[in-house]
Amino acid sequence: PASLFERWTADGQRLTRADLRRHLQDLGLLPAHANALSMACAEKASSEVHVRAFSELIGEVATSQARAAVTSCVAVDISIRQDAPFEVVFVSASKHATLSAVWSSKGYPCSPLSIWRMAPLERKTSLYIPLGYIAAAGFKEPSAPCLEVKAGKTKSWFATVDMAPCRAWVEAAMPLPVSFRLLWGLVPAEPGQQPLYLWRPVPPSEHFVSLGAVVTVTPAEPRGD
């Protein structure tokens, strides 16, 4: 929340209620929910919102009273308006995906298995968001399912596309994990075998869930980026 304020305001501290409502709608909130949130964190008898009040309401400071006040709104925090300047679609096999092999069962007495990671990708009019690591039978690169966040159509291919609403929605709907919990580890017994560690991402609040697991070949906790 504080980082959003830094982008939305000159001093990073105060914002008018009307401007906050407009920025929340740009993130994809329905007008009624954006209005409810902006009114809930506005100072009494004032049209201004302070960064601390906004942070408490959203959950960065996270007082129990603030969370209770916003429960009904946060549940639809990432709703996409019908007139939003972008759309989100599921792509079962993205032709734009770039995959990198993370682990393989080479050297193990088992059927061939490999695990791959897709890197997030931004193109002219779309963001491609991976939905976790991909396990594949064999060592061949698999297809890559992902979410595509598509900006609105432009009149010309050479026209400038505003990707800010797409990035803002992804940041709000898919925040980075705050930490990782080790689920399982495989320590090699023979030379030539790769170690394997599976981690569960810990979301920033109870309003989010993690999709799948993160895979590493070292016992060090992954980075949150």
Helical spans, DSSP H, in 90-209: 164-173
CA distance 54 to 66: 10
| Cα–Cα nearest to 126, from 155, 99, 100, 95 | 95
* pLDDT of res. 129: 86
The per-residue pLDDT string of the chain (225 residues; one tens digit each, 9 = 90 and over) reads 556 666 777 766 777 878 877 777 766 666 666 777 777 777 655 677 777 777 666 654 344 443 443 333 333 344 555 556 667 777 777 777 789 999 999 999 999 999 999 888 888 888 888 888 889 999 999 888 888 888 866 555 566 777 888 888 888 888 888 899 999 999 998 999 999 999 999 988 878 888 778 999 999 999 876
Residue 123 DSSP label: -
71-75: long-range contacts at Cβ-Cβ below 8 A with a sequence spacing of 24 or more? 72/36, 73/33, 73/36, 73/37, 73/40, 74/207, 75/207
* pLDDT of res. 83: 57
Per the structure block, which two tokens stand in for 149?
A: 């966040």
Q: Which helix (H) or strand (E) holds 56?
A: helix 51-58
pTM above 0.75, yes or no: no
Sign of the C-alpha dihedral, residues 53, 58, 64, 69? positive
Task: State the amino acid at position 106 in one-letter form.
Answer: K
* pLDDT of res. 73: 37
* pLDDT of res. 181: 92
